[in-house]
Structure formats: C-alpha cells, structure tokens
Amino acid sequence: MTEDCAYDMMQRGRELLEEGHPAQAAMVLESAKLVEPRKGSLLEMLGRAYYRWGRFAAAAGSFEEALEVDPTNDYAHYCLGLCYLKTGRTVEAGGHFKLAWTLNPLDEYREMALRFLAGGRGGRGG
C-alpha cells in the first residue's frame, strides 16, 4: 500500500464517520494506520471513530498516539480527557482538559477545565 492509498482510506473513514458508522470507520482507519502509523490527523480520526463506537479505552490509546506525534494538539488533549472520564480516570482527564484550554482557549475546553480547577471531578462524557 502507498501513502495515496492511506489517504483514500482516511477519506473513506471520514465519510463513514459522517454517515454514522463508527465501527466501519475504525476498521478502514486501522488499515490506513498500517501505512501511515505516525500521521497525527489519522490517529485523531481513529480516536474519534473508537469514541463514537463506545470503545473508550481504544479511543484513548489512539489519542495518546496522536499526542506522541504532536503534543500541542489541543483537540487530542480534550478528546483524551473525555475518554479518561468515560474510563474513570478523572484526575488524568482534568490534566488534559487544562492542557487543551491552555493550548487553545475555546469555551468548550474552558468549561471542562474549570470544573477540574474548581476541584470537581465530574463532567459530562460527551
């Protein structure tokens, strides 16, 4: 397989996600990952697919890999925080929400970060 093939698979994965088929998207994106294992945007999309599929630990792993590629990816930090909330890792979730907000002060990030700065350990799972 080539990088062009990986790109095509990534586009197909995006379409499947948009159509509401996260399991199928994850399978296509896993194939693309075999060709492009260190592509941050692919890892992020794979994490989204797993999250929407309800496979929160797998989603967390994908977002962790995306952050290895680009530690300044605010969206990956935010999504990793959501995954950690779903898997009961609230302290770690709070750290990633704070990092996301520090990197990009979006209202959505701010809301979650402030819940943890105020000493709260809860939050919506998104």
Q: What is the pLDDT of residues 31-80, one digit of tens each?
A: 999 999 999 999 999 999 999 999 999 999 999 999 999 999 999 999 99
Same domain, 35 and 84: no
Give me the domain span that covers residue 15.
1-54
Same domain, 29 and 76: no
pTM for the predicted model, two decimal places: 0.89
Q: Looking at the 3D structure of the chain, how many domains does it have?
A: 2
Identity of the residue numbered 107: D
Share of the chain above pLDDT 90, in %: 87
The DSSP secondary-structure symbol of 105 reads -
| Residue 62 located in a structural domain | no
- What are residue 117's phi and psi, to 5 degrees? -65, -30
